[in-house]
Chain A
Amino acid sequence: MKARSIKYLTGEGIKNVWVNRLMSIASVGVLMACMVLIGIAVIIGQNVNRAMVGLEKQNVVMVYFNDYNSVMYPIDFDADDEMIDPSTITDDMYVVHNDEEGKAVAEKIEKLDNIAEVEYFTKEEDMQRFEDKKISNITDDVNFCSCGAKVTLKDLSRFDETIEGIEKVEGVYHISSSDETAEIISAIKDGLGTAGIWIIAILLIISLVIVCNTIRVTMYNRKLEISIMKAVGATDAFVRLPFVVEGILLGLISAILSEVVVYFCYRVMLETFIPSIMGATMPVSFASAALPIFGLFVAIGVVSGVIGSVIMISKYLRREGSEFKAYN
């Protein structure tokens, strides 16, 4: 197609938006509603993600091994309890007899799925940690701690199965974790992800339907012009282009306006509920989110504009085809 034809047809497309302005305003309104919802979902999602990253750093469990101390001072051992008589404890009552064997257990854990890092510690190191943290005020020289490993998980959403796997390793005695937080976080994240995808999919379909409908109205308004164009020898591409331009233009206008609306919405959100969901983490700044969100809006607008107009006009041209009802 010649450059001047493209220029002419682009002008016609812009004119369509104006001539058909009531319909254009309506469809920009609906497109904007969809885009603003998507934009807000995205920006909340980004904040939640950022908050998660902070929490995910606690994605570490302490795995204690089945050594002498684990028998001597069981997990439910209390300072007031009567001591087990050390003479009754035999070697075959526990698995890990020394650090070599302890490291071997740690290596087995490291080979499991979804394990990011395993760091072996001796019972002395664990005791030291207790004293450092002043968790215990037992200052006598009895070390009641067990050796074990600090295990970091990769994917928090697979927390349960990973823990089960670790428990099955021979020589593992007890796992201590704040697994409730982990579960809640991964549930929220999964939920948001799935819901987000569905919301975006549904809104995209709505946008597409709206654009299709607007283009259809323009098309029927311009039926006469199309019939003359066909009669004079316009190619399908030529007939189609103004409608594609119209669709894209509606998408772009909606994208720009939506960006502005999302900016103001986010400002309100920052003053209201965002800080409470973020805790200590800094909320995402609009500036850093602005470009990806605008990109998304333009993509939604342009894609629904192009697809909508191409679907509608192709349907029309196929039906009315080369026939243009010249005569009855």
Chain B
Amino acid sequence: MRVINTNTQVPGYEQPLIEFRGVSKTYIGGTHALSDVNLKINKGEFVFVVGSSGAGKSTFMKLIMREEKANVGEVIVNGYNLSTMKRKQVPMLRRTMGIVFQDFRLIPNMNVFENVAFAMHVVGAGSRKIRKEVSRALAKVGLGHKARSMPDELSGGEQQRVGLARALVNAPDLIIADEPTGNVDPNMSYEIVGLLDEINKRGTTILMVTHDHNLVRDFNHRVIMLDGGKIVADNAEGSAL
């Protein structure tokens, strides 16, 4: 369900891309992964999500992707209210976001080009458009020359760049990456976050979970810190915290 903002509109006010209103998530078994989370992320932001293990970072990301549903409160993403959304509408939501996996998730029997093209086939793109967009996405991540390589012929960093190209290829409004650098060496990490930074500069919103404090320090972006399922720090402009 696409939510039309019915709040009294402030001139120049833009509806946030992501909004959490009093969100709590308790897993079956009773773990309180998130409790009463409120936040807004605007279009075009680059947000690091940090916190210790078990703080609820992945849960936070899963709620945005509608892989999990909140028990309490409302999650609104790109105009969709995820609490009232029907299962059938989830694919439409997912098409507005690109997901980067920590474990890359490249299909081993497809080459680099096919792996990226796969994401476009899923949304029913035509073959000419696929050829053009895949080449562009691969060029963006600096792997134009590896299009015919198989995933196992690539380094971890290169594989993650293919994963990034795949997330990018459908021109999403939002990129979600939970520890995208968790399985690559530190130099590669900088390269990948650098790429995300460039993508962000062209207008795409980036949401990235990381444990790497150096990355957070060196790329100067908004940082949301979770602890015990609560936001304990957020350096957003005008943030209550």
Number of A residues near B (Cβ < 8 Å) is: 26
Interface stretch, picked from A93-101, A206-214, A220-228, is A220-228
Q: Does B95 contact A (CB under 8 A)?
A: yes
Chain B residues whose C-beta falls within 8 Å of the C-beta of A230 in the assembled complex: 94
Question: Which of A130-138, A171-179, A231-239 forms part of the interface with chain B?
Answer: A231-239
A326 to B98 CA separation, bound complex (whole angstroms) = 12
Residues of A near B58 (CB, < 8 A) are: 327-328
How many chain B residues touch the partner (CB < 8 A)? 33
Interface residues as binary, A240-259 with B (CB distance below 8 Å gives 1, 0 otherwise):
00000000000000000000
Q: Give chain B nearest CB distance to A32 CB in angstroms.
A: 29
Pick the interface stretch among A70-78, A120-128, A191-199, A316-324: A316-324
Task: Give every chain B residue within 8 A of A233 (Cβ-Cβ).
Answer: 91-95, 122-123, 170
Please provide the chain B residues from 162 to 180 with a CB less than 8 Å away from any CB of chain A in the complex. Answer: 166, 170, 178-179
Q: Are B66 and A1 in contact (CB under 8 A)?
A: no
Q: Smallest Cβ distance from B170 to chain A, in angstroms?
A: 7
Q: Chain B contacts of A234 at CB under 8 A?
A: 91, 122-123
Q: Does B232 contact A (CB under 8 A)?
A: no
Please, what's the 1-or-0 string for B33-72, where 1 marks a CB less than 8 Å from any CB in chain A? 0000000000000000000000000100110011110000
* Contacts from A to B (Cβ < 8 Å): 1-2, 4-5, 8, 19, 224-225, 227-236, 238, 321-324, 326-328
Q: A4-B124, A233-B93, A233-B122 are in contact. List 10 more A-B contacts (CB 8 A).
A: A1-B124, A4-B126, A229-B118, A233-B94, A322-B66, A322-B90, A326-B62, A326-B65, A326-B67, A327-B61
B interface vs A, CB < 8 Å?
Answer: 58, 61-62, 65-68, 87-88, 90-95, 99, 101-102, 105, 107, 109, 118-119, 121-124, 126-127, 166, 170, 178-179
The contact sample of 13 A-B pairs, CB cut-off 8 A, is A5-B121, A5-B124, A228-B118, A229-B122, A231-B65, A232-B94, A232-B119, A233-B123, A235-B88, A236-B88, A326-B67, A326-B178, A327-B61
